[in-house]
Amino acid sequence: MDEIGLFPLNLVLLPGEQAPLHIFEPRYRELIGECLDTGEEFGLLLEDDGGMREVGTRCGVVEVLDRFADGRLNVVVEARDRIQLVEETEGRAFRTAEVEELPDEEDTPTDEEVEECLAAYARVVSAAEADLEDLDFDADSIAYQIAARIDFGPEIKQGLLETRSERERVVRLAPMLTRAADAVEREREIRERAGGNGRVEPL
């Protein structure tokens, strides 16, 4: 257990996922500045109308894109290990807390479950005509990699983040990907019909 600075946002980053952040509030400029100076990490936790969640990711700054004269920063951060908030602490301009790592339970998906998830993912990519990076099959989690490439929104990603086994994540993700593929294919069909004769024919 250790104490780290917290950066609550309406954003979920899964382990291995990167994202650009614009740092403008003075307290978070201080936090990110310290991380840059020391190489330390910070905790990114989802905060929305329901408050701040207790499960998030430990993140590091991997690139500084811009430094502005007024102290603002554009940076790229990378999510690493999952963390569980234990207790918030005080004494700094930014929020801090004692956190602990949140390891997975030993429950791996079957080959069939992985293949079903990958097939549904391939449908989404094909339907969207997207050019995405290849998956790293040697990584700890295929589910995290896939969910980081599809815009499911913070609530679904938070649910996957809080799930304690790779098998459960894969099993949960497959039907969500199938529904996403159905929606993308349907949208493309409507666009093609509308582009063909100027109107959409009812099915």
Q: What angle do helix axes 154-162 and 166-197 make, rounded to 10 degrees? A: 160
Phi and psi at 170, nearest 5°, equal -60, -45
The pLDDT, as a whole number, for residue 199 is 52
Tens of pLDDT, residue by residue over 138-149, are: 888 999 999 999
pTM for the structure as a whole: 0.88
Pair 79, 58: CB distance under 8 Å: yes
Q: Are residues 89 and 150 in the same domain?
A: no
Cα–Cα distance list, 20 to 1, 13, 71, 78 (Å): 28, 11, 17, 9
- 95 and 118 fall within a common domain: no
86 and 140 part of one domain: no
Residue at which a domain ends, from 61, 76, 101: 101
Q: Does 132 or 197 have the greater pLDDT score?
A: 132
- Which backbone phi and psi does 158 adopt, to 5 degrees? -65, -40
- Report whether 84 contacts 54 (CB < 8 A): yes
State whether 11 and 95 are in the same domain.
yes
pLDDT at 197 over 90: no
Q: Are residues 181 and 146 in the same domain?
A: yes
Which tens digit of pLDDT belongs to each residue from 154-192? 999 999 999 999 999 999 999 999 999 999 888 888 888
Name the domain count of the chain: 2
CATH number for the domain spanning 24: value is 2.30.130.40
pLDDT tens per residue across span 71-107: 999 999 999 999 999 999 999 999 999 999 999 998 9
**Are residues 7 and 93 located together in one domain of the fold?**
yes
Contact (Cβ atoms closer than 8 angstroms) between residue 203 and residue 190: no
Q: Determine contact, residues 75/67, Cβ cutoff 8 Å.
A: no
119 plus 157 within the same structural domain: yes
144 and 86 in a common domain: no
- Domain region containing 117: 111-197
Instruction: Report d(CA 72, CA 59) in Å as an integer.
Output: 19
Residue 106 lies in a domain: no
- Tell me which of 48, 78, 101 is where a domain ends: 101
Which pLDDT value is given to residue 203? 44
Task: Compute how many other C-beta atoms are within 10 angstroms of the C-beta atom of residue 26.
Answer: 12
Q: Do 90 and 34 share a domain, yes or no? A: yes
- Asked if residue 201 has pLDDT above 60, the reply is no
